[in-house]
Structure 1
Amino acid sequence: MGKDTVSIYSNSGVAWECDGEVVFEGKCYIGNASAISISSTGCVYFGKRFYASASFKLVSYCGVRFGRDVHIGWDCIVMDTDFHKMVFCKDGKSNKGYGKVKIGRGNWLGMKCCVLKNTRTPDYCTVSASSILNSSYLDLPSHSVIGQDRSVVLKKEGCYRDFQNDVIEYE
């Protein structure tokens, strides 16, 4: 962990904060300037031959699972929580603010990808640089290339963050 391989990142090692569960199926490589934070309710599973380049960020309050032979480019972040809830105007209900992440076997995430709660990817997929993943892509065949245009409007109205009632209770 923390090996200096990307010259544009200082060799600051890896910040490791773990109150939850971590499983290593085999060898795991995490590059320099990376940070891992796993809460008491979090669980992370690293498949065999996991590789993350420099400045990898990982946050788990629920569950994150990486299949075998997953490779992650620099400046990527994987989070299974939003750290807040969103309230929907139409019915006043809110989402739970977290959900498990599962990255399929043989996936490659290009640099600066952001993987958010409830993401599921099929095996042997490539995620293009600077993509944001936030749902299941299991309807795609293996060996697909996944990418998202960051300028798409996701919801025009009827949704907001209630800063006064924003606490998540993890199960």
Structure 2
Amino acid sequence: MIKDSYNIYKKCKQAKSVFLIVYGKYIYYRARYKLNILAHQHTTVIGIKNINTAHRLNIGVQYIGFSHPSDKTWMNIKGVLAITGNYSIGRGCRFDIGEQAKVTIGCGGYINVNTKLIIMHGLKIGDNCAIAWGCEFLDEDFHAIDYKGRIEKNKNIIIGNHVWIGAEAKIYQGTIIADGCVIASNSVVRGHFTEKNTIIGGNPAKVIKTQIQWT
């Protein structure tokens, strides 16, 4: 317990977090919800009981040089947020997960600062995915346009394993991204990209290079 407290203190100092507030929340989450969550003092979680994880979840306490101490993280979880391993969510992120939605995140990887997840249906992020700052995941238009021959499509977003999503990329409803892919910064992605190990970029996004590897 003492070692764990000291590690939390070091993490708070690095992230310019207030130790007593962060540690107090940590103890409360463990006692009340049986969750191992370490959250920056400017973090609000609505629906914490809908988080399903047996592992450490860091929210806003991982140091990122360009984040600001006053950035606020807002998580509104009406559906389910399931995380299968230790995970870090950057400061200033916003999660809105609808009542019928499920977001599943694999082990390893991280979500960087100021990223938005607005999910009303479903989002699956594989293992060891790196999601850069300012990205957006949106699986609902919130307005319907009817036309002749319109076919209702699956709106879930599926991200494979070991995918790197560059800064300020936007991933929209129904998108599938295969394992090992890289999404270029500022891309607008919608569609099925089923070939593994490719660079995808542009607006609208398309395959730019194939047979790539990233570390």
* Equivalent pairs, count: 147
SS at 2:176's partner residue?
coil
Structure 2 counterpart of 1:123:
179
User: Structure 1 residues 36 and 144, CA, compared in 2 at 3 Å: closer, same or farther?
Assistant: same
Gaps in structure 2 of 5+ consecutive residues: 1-58, 206-215
Q: How do 1:72-91 residues align onto structure 2 when only pairs under 5 Å count?
A: 72-88=131-147, 91=148
How far has the Cα of 1:134 moved from its partner? Answer: 0.8
Larger relative contact order (Cα-Cα within 8 Å, sequence gap ≥ 6)? 1
Is the CA contact (8 Å cut-off) linking 1:6 and 1:54 kept in structure 2?
Answer: no
The aligned residue for residue 25 of structure 1 is: 84
What residue number does 1:159 align with? none
**Alpha-carbon separation, structure 2, partners of 1:51 and 1:134:** 22
Task: Give TM-score scaled by structure 1 length.
Answer: 0.78
Quick one: distance in 2 between partners of 1:98 and 1:35?
Answer: 24
Residue 134 of structure 1 is aligned with which of 173, 190, 206? 190
Q: Distance in 1 between matches of 2:118 and 2:151?
A: 19
Contact 1:87 1:95 in 2 (8 A): no
**Who is 2:121 aligned against?**
62
Q: Which runs of no fewer than 5 residues in structure 1 stay unpaired? A: 152-171
Out of 130, 143, 167, the residue aligned to residue 71 of structure 1 is: 130
8 Å contact 2:134–2:167 — kept in the other structure? yes
Q: Could you list the per-position Cα deviations for residues 57-104 of structure 1 after superposition, in whole angstroms to 9, with x for gaps in the alignment?
A: 10111110000001111000011111122233xx2x656587000001
> Moved runs in structure 1, 4+ residues, more than 3 A?
8-11, 93-98
Partner residue of 1:53?
A: 112
* Root mean square deviation, CA, Å: 2.1
Kindly provide the amino acid, as one letter, of the partner of residue 128 in structure 2.
D
Hey, what's the Cα distance between the residues in 2 that align with 1:39 and 1:130? 26
Task: Tell me the residue number matched to 2:51.
Answer: none
- Contact map agreement 2:189 2:203 (CA 8 A) in 1: no
Do residues 2 (structure 1) and 56 (structure 2) align?
A: no
Structure 1 distance, partners of 2:112, 2:81, is 19
Provide TM-score, normalisation by structure 2: 0.63
CA gap 1:32/1:97 in 2 versus in 1, 3 angstroms:
farther
What secondary structure is seen at the aligned counterpart in 1 of 2:180? coil
Q: Give the share of equivalent positions with the same residue, in percent.
A: 21
CA distance in 1, matches of 2:92, 2:153: 27
Match of 1:148 in 2: 202
| Matched residue, 2:158 | 102
Paired residues of 2:67 and 2:113 also in contact (CA < 8 A) = no
